């Protein structure tokens, strides 16, 4: 992880970017000498090779100022600088790579379960644009449909057997037959809408089950219910 409470990380990052751009500046040499002296990532020789190469290429005044602060072993890296930038040691490369780890693979089974549950919730939410939710209300709808069919049957049911229809007809000021016909027509219209919603719900769930990637799961779970 790239830590904001460690000066190593920004120092290494800035130095490596400058090296990659083939820059040779005084600040780079200073950073490399410091990293080497601290033996960061157990790569002292690497840091000193980088520092020696940069220091050797600096203007005379800058080079002299840095060399005056070096020990005898460090002087050798300046007197005999490497011709090419040294290869980044694995410990340093792994340290840098840990700043931006690869994201963990998503749990596809969990994603699918969540997507399927979401599809069901959204289907139900869309249904509520046309009907009133609740198990009790569902029973009332079923009862009213049965009574409506009985009301227009031959012979029609007695009023005591179609209490819901009789009550609603009286409330709306229409005949029992008219109210029964209205309820049946509404039910038939709802059947068309419901079938469209159900096809999309089942189709989306099937697509989710067949998806092989997280992106495919998310795409399959996106349903345009308005067009149902």
Closest by Cα among 72, 76, 17 to 51: 76
HSE-up of residue 148 (Cα within 13 Å, Cβ side): 19
Q: What is the pLDDT of residue 131?
A: 86
Per the CB < 8 A criterion, the answer to whether 36 and 48 are in contact is yes
Per-residue pLDDT at 101: 78
- Nearest-angstrom CA–CA distance, 120 and 142: 22
Q: Is the peptide bond before 155 cis (omega within 30 degrees of 0)?
A: yes
pLDDT of residue 138: 86
Residues near 205 by beta carbon (within 8 Å), at least 6 away in sequence: 116, 119, 120
What are the domain boundaries of the chain? 8-97, 108-227
Confidence at residue 132, expressed as pLDDT on a 0 to 100 scale: 87
Whole-angstrom Cα distance, residue 57 to residue 127?
Answer: 75
Task: Going residue by residue through the chain, which has 228 residues, state the pLDDT in tens, using 9 for 90 and above.
Answer: 888 888 889 999 999 999 999 999 999 999 999 999 999 999 999 999 999 999 999 999 999 999 999 999 999 999 999 999 999 999 999 999 999 877 788 899 999 999 999 999 999 999 999 988 888 888 988 999 998 999 999 888 898 999 999 999 999 999 999 999 999 999 999 999 999 999 999 999 999 999 999 999 999 999 999 865
Q: What is the pLDDT of residue 213?
A: 93
Question: What distance in Å separates the CA atoms of residue 148 and residue 150, rounded to the nearest whole number?
Answer: 5
Q: Residue 200 CB: number of other CB atoms within 10 A?
A: 19
pLDDT at position 86:
97
Separation of alpha carbons 46 and 89, rounded Å: 7
> Exposed, middle or buried by CB within 10 Å (0-12, 13-18, 19+), for 218?
middle
Count CB neighbours of 145 within 10 A: 18
Matching residue, tokens 């049946």? 184
Cβ distance 127 to 223 under 8 Å? no
Q: Encoding tokens for residue 21?
A: 């751009």
Asked if residue 87 lies in contact with residue 58, where contact means CB atoms within 8 angstroms, the answer is no
């Amino acid at each position: 992880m790239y830590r904001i409470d460690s000066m190593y990380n920004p120092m290494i990052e800035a130095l490596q970017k400058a090296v990659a751009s083939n820059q040779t500046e005084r600040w780079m040499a200073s950073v490399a000498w410091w990293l080497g002296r601290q033996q960061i990532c157990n790569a002292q020789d690497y840091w000193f090779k980088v520092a020696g190469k940069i220091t050797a290429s600096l203007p005379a005044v800058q080079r002299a100022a840095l060399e005056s602060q070096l020990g005898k072993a460090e002087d050798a890296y300046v007197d005999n600088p490497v011709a090419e930038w040294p290869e980044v040691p694995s410990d340093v490369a792994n340290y840098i790579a840990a700043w931006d780890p690869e994201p963990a693979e998503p749990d596809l089974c969990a994603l699918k379960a969540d997507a399927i549950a979401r599809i069901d919730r959204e289907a139900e939410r869309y249904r509520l644009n046309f009907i009133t939710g609740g198990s009790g209300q569902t029973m009332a709808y079923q009862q009213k449909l049965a009574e409506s069919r009985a009301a227009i049957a031959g012979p029609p049911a007695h009023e005591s057997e179609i209490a819901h229809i009789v009550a609603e007809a009286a409330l709306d000021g229409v005949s029992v037959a008219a109210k029964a016909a209205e309820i049946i027509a509404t039910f038939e219209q709802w059947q068309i809408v419901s079938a469209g919603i159900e096809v999309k719900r089942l189709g989306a769930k099937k697509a989710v089950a067949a998806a092989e990637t997280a992106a495919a799961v998310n795409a399959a779970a996106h349903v345009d219910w308005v067009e149902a």
